[in-house]
Amino acid sequence: MDTSSGTVVRAEEFGTLADGAVVHRWTLERDGTRVRVLTYGGIVQSVEVPDRDGARAEVALGLPDPAGYEAFPGPYMGALVGRYANRIGGACFELDGRTHRLTRNEGRNHVHGGARGFDKRVWRAREVAEGVELSLVSEDGEEGFPGRLTVSAAYTLDKGGALRIAYRATTDAPTVLNLTNHTYWNLAGVGPATVAEAGTDAEAGTDAEAGGAGSGDALRQVLRIAAGRITPVDGESLPTGEFLPVDGTRFDFREPTTLGPGYDHNFVLDEPGAGPAAELYDPGSGRSLTVTTTEPGLQLYTADHFDGRPFGPCAGIALETQHFPDSPNRPGFPSTVLRPGEEFVSTTVYGFGVR
């Protein structure tokens, strides 16, 4: 339907999961931008925006039905990640003198919410002005996290077609929380993936046919990140606790720089909320993306380990707005503690344009 703001909002049944749960898809359209969001995992399945000639194309990696996301859960493709995005070392943390042990799903560590994080839940949905709001309740003890958490994420389109994701959460007991969106971007445009039913191919170790989706990469695009420091990591991709200046290193994206491979690092944003945290530009199509956030960090992930099922290496890049990895075990990092009576509020805006 048409809302008073000019955003077109439509909902449809999208398919079912292996357990029979029904997944719905919400389509938002405004000022040249078309976004599709799934109730499964809060997934941004599709983002279509025009190039400098007005030709609209897909710029987010996605799959055509729920079976695809169940067959390929590891990339967290387009998903809303929680309770804790990124890693918690040793899959445990101490809060108010009590040790909480979490699900280990990456070696000895916890990553992206555990075995059944928010990316694998079916969210409730309701239409709101300019878009859709997803919500769920995460019960006390899920994946080891304390507290009964009530969380929502509103996906809306601003004037000009910018995608805004506004997160809110409350808890009935002290807990830690770190939410992000895990969309992979390729502003050159990606072809339609056709591997949603290819779980058997993946299990057999053969390459599934991916149409145009697996061709090319995003490494010719130009990136700027407003960050003068990163949090360096060890061999388990856990932060060392230090802050490393980017001067003279391959992490210096303070001026527009052509991407290369080999990034899975948290950048410490200079002024969260004060301006674009990151800007991505594709010289071929002219498409540009700006990321503005209230979060203190941004994880740049170039997806080097994609193996062609369903996308090839570096087919898209993730720009994950977040608090820092392993913050519950790093008192020198911004706190991720949420207590009863407080409300977690976080907003990230993805703006699209052409040059």
Burial of 185 (0-12, 13-18, 19+ CB in 10 A): buried
Closest residue by Cα to residue 256 from 229, 231, 232, 289: 289
| Coil vs helix vs strand at 90 | helix
User: How far, CA to CA in Å, does 80 sit from each of 169, 318, 347?
Assistant: 14, 13, 13
Q: What pLDDT band is residue 192 in, cutting at 50, 70 and 90?
A: low
User: How far, CA to CA in Å, does 326 sit from each of 75, 182, 231, 240, 331?
Assistant: 20, 18, 11, 10, 10
Q: What pLDDT band is residue 4 in, cutting at 50, 70 and 90?
A: very low
Q: What pLDDT band is residue 309 in, cutting at 50, 70 and 90?
A: confident
Q: What is the largest CA-CA distance in the chain?
A: 59
106-153 residue pLDDT tens? 999 999 999 999 999 999 999 999 999 999 999 999 999 999 999 999
**This prediction's pTM:** 0.93
Q: Which of 54-58, 63-67, 188-192, 221-225 has the lowest mean pLDDT?
A: 188-192
State yes or no: is 182 an active-site residue: yes
Across the chain, mean pLDDT equals 92
Q: Is the pLDDT of residue 211 over 50?
A: no
Per-residue model confidence (pLDDT) at position 216? 75
Q: What pLDDT band is residue 203 in, cutting at 50, 70 and 90?
A: very low
**Alpha carbon 9 to chain centroid distance?**
22
State yes or no: is 343 an active-site residue: no
Per-residue model confidence (pLDDT) at position 295? 98
Q: Is the pLDDT of residue 176 over 70?
A: yes
User: How far, CA to CA in Å, does 239 sit from each of 2, 6, 92, 230, 242?
Assistant: 46, 44, 15, 10, 7
Taking a C-beta distance cutoff of 8 angstroms, is the pair 119, 144 a contact?
A: no
Per-residue model confidence (pLDDT) at position 209? 30
Q: What is the mean pLDDT of residues 202-230?
A: 65
Q: What is the mean pLDDT of residues 63-88?
A: 97
Catalytic residue among 130, 265, 320, 323: 320
Neighbouring C-alpha atoms within 13 Å toward the C-beta of 333: 29
- Tell me the residue length of the chain: 355
Give the C-alpha separation, 254 to 349, whole Å: 20
Give the C-alpha separation, 255 to 87, whole Å: 28
Q: What pLDDT band is residue 291 in, cutting at 50, 70 and 90?
A: very high
Q: What pLDDT band is residue 214 in, cutting at 50, 70 and 90?
A: very low
Q: How many helices (H) and strands (E) does the chain have?
A: 2, 28
Q: Is the pLDDT of residue 196 over 60?
A: no
- The share of the chain scoring above pLDDT 70, in percent, equals 92
Q: 314 is written with which tokens?
A: 């570096």
Give the C-alpha separation, 174 to 338, whole Å: 6
Catalytic residue among 182, 265, 295, 323: 182
Query: Tokens 């203190």 sit at which residue?
Result: 296
- The share of the chain scoring above pLDDT 90, in percent, equals 90
Per-residue model confidence (pLDDT) at position 3? 42
Per-residue model confidence (pLDDT) at position 298? 98
Burial of 218 (0-12, 13-18, 19+ CB in 10 A): buried
Q: What is the mean pLDDT of residues 343-348?
A: 98
Q: 216 is written with which tokens?
A: 């090319």
Give the C-alpha separation, 231 to 353, whole Å: 30
Q: What pLDDT band is residue 193 in, cutting at 50, 70 and 90?
A: low
Per-residue model confidence (pLDDT) at position 198? 34
Q: What is the mean pLDDT of residues 210-234?
A: 81
Per-residue model confidence (pLDDT) at position 231? 98
Query: Tokens 């080097």 sit at which residue?
Result: 304
CB contact set of 127 (below 8 Å; sequence gap of 6+) = 1, 9, 11, 133
Q: Is the pLDDT of residue 289 over 50?
A: yes
Burial of 44 (0-12, 13-18, 19+ CB in 10 A): buried
Q: What pLDDT band is residue 170 in, cutting at 50, 70 and 90?
A: very high
Closest residue by Cα to residue 319 from 277, 257, 286: 277
Report the amino acid identity of residue 191: G
| Coil vs helix vs strand at 268 | strand
3-state secondary structure string across 127-174: EECCEEEEEEEECCCHHHCCCCEEEEEEEEECCCCCEEEEEEEEECCC
Q: What is the mean pLDDT of residues 258-285?
A: 96
Higher pLDDT, 1 or 21: 21
